[in-house]
Amino acid sequence: MPTDTTVNTAEANYLLPKDFLLNFYAAIQGEAEGQDKELKKLFASAYLNRIGKKEWADSDLNTLLVNTFDAAKLQNNPYRWALSGNFPNKISEDDFKETIAAIAPIIKSGKIPYDVEFVMTKKRYKQIKKMSKSKRPLNLDLLKPTVEVGDFIGLKYK
């Protein structure tokens, strides 16, 4: 279950511009099409928690989006379908509507449900832990797991 981490939106300045929302929703869709709403909230939380912080401090919203979500970087099918509104079937279209319904209240309320900055599968997390420290794509010594949602784990800086 998520924890309601309230963010001072005036200070954090993370509320997304309306013309950017479709890109944001599409990226979440690309990462989590067909998954439950809690996983979609987890991905949204990771992005929103990165805005203006740490190594992402100087990134504009689009650069941060591409660097946060492989779906946006690689422009996978669910991402492209959501951006264009041209879905291959009703199931994909309805799933995108569910994505928006899950994420829009976060943007509106200013409450980020999960305290995470990274999201990966549990399997990938275990693989990274087994790697020698010099070969790890992330320095896990600097991160701590904060939540598990299905087969995914959320992490944040210590």
DSSP line for 4-22: -EE--HHHH--PPPHHHHH
* pLDDT, tens digit, 9 for 90 and up, residues 101-147: 999 999 988 899 999 999 999 999 999 999 998 899 989 999 999 99
38: Cα separation from own chain's centroid = 11
Beta carbons of 7 and 111 less than 8 angstroms apart? yes
* pLDDT, tens digit, 9 for 90 and up, residues 5-50: 433 333 344 467 877 999 999 999 999 999 999 999 999 999 999 9
pTM: 0.87
Write down the domain spans for the chain. Answer: 5-114
What is the DSSP-derived secondary structure letter of residue 151?
Answer: T
Mean pLDDT over 67-93 rounds to 96
Tell me how far apart the alpha carbons of residues 155 and 158 are, in angstroms, rounded to a whole number: 9
3-class secondary-structure state, position 144: strand
